[in-house]
Structure 1
Amino acid sequence: MTSLKSKTTQTMKPATAAKKLGIYLNAAPAEFQEGVVSREELNTLQADPPAWLQELRRNGPHPRPVVAAKLGVSVSGLARGGVTEALTTEQIEALKTENPAWLERERTIQADVRKEAVRIKEKNEQQAAATPPAKTR
């Protein structure tokens, strides 16, 4: 006897979908915020974004991880700089132009963190290359 398994559609909360799309949920249309998003719908939004999604990606407001990436700092660095809300592209550009002391400091910290990550990766690769392979029986 064979049982027929119905294929269930994988869905996610709007917050999860917004995170995957790199948008600020509160700026999305109400129908997006209030419903659930299927994996198929998410793939469609990524492949062929509607006008509202293109506009959000272009002008924001952007969620903090996107703001941090655009400014070249960490999300923690944003918080230390007093930026706790979503920013528009215009606000991000104004911050870049203004280049306050906290932003310059956080960019330096981020650059140091990246250099250290590269150093550790190279060190681990060298150690792996120098270690003889384990003998198998």
Structure 2
Amino acid sequence: MKPQTAARKLGIYLPATPEEFQNNAVTHVELKALLETPPEWLVELRRTGPHPRPVVAQKLGITITALKRNDMDKPLTTAEIKALLENQPEWLRTARTALAEGREEHAEETSDNEE
């Protein structure tokens, strides 16, 4: 598979990976090995970032759309994410609240449909 696909499956930001990873195809066996016994570079990248948009959005508790809407559609490190969570700007509080409310509504609709 292409390096971009492998990076997406690993939840990592491709430009932050070693050049060898970026320039070579990854087999399914290699991907499985990376998932089961990640090398130090992968462990460190997952721990400190930079993280791709989906991971940033998940760690912030918001949607990718909210990131884009607030010009935060870029890779962030774990430290940058932590700083945002500690000193939440208004847009982040609003986006977190909106996502939480949306999830509550969805859960209510799902439970209503099961009855």
- Residue 106 of structure 2 corresponds to 117
Partners of 1:124 and 1:38 in 2: CA distance: 42
Q: RMSD over aligned Cα, in angstroms?
A: 0.7
Are the equivalent residues in 1 in contact too, given 2:64–2:73 (CA < 8 A)? no
How far the C-alpha of 1:109 sits from its partner, in A, is 0.5
Matched, 1:69 2:58: yes
TM-score under structure 1 length normalisation:
0.82
Q: Which amino acid aligns with 2:76?
A: L
1:40 aligns with 2:29: yes
* Structure 1: tracts of 5 or more residues without a match: 1-11, 127-137
| Alpha-carbon distance in 2 for matches of 1:120, 1:13 | 39
Unpaired runs of at least 5, structure 2: none
Give the C-alpha shift of residue 119 in structure 1: 1.3
Could you tell me which residue of structure 2 aligns to residue 96 of structure 1? 85
2:105 aligned partner, one-letter code:
E
How far has the Cα of 1:116 moved from its partner?
Answer: 1.4
TM-score using structure 2 length: 0.97
Moved over 4 A (4+): none
Moved more, 74-83 or 53-62: 74-83
Distance 1:16 1:116 in 2: 33
Letter in 2 for 1:82: D
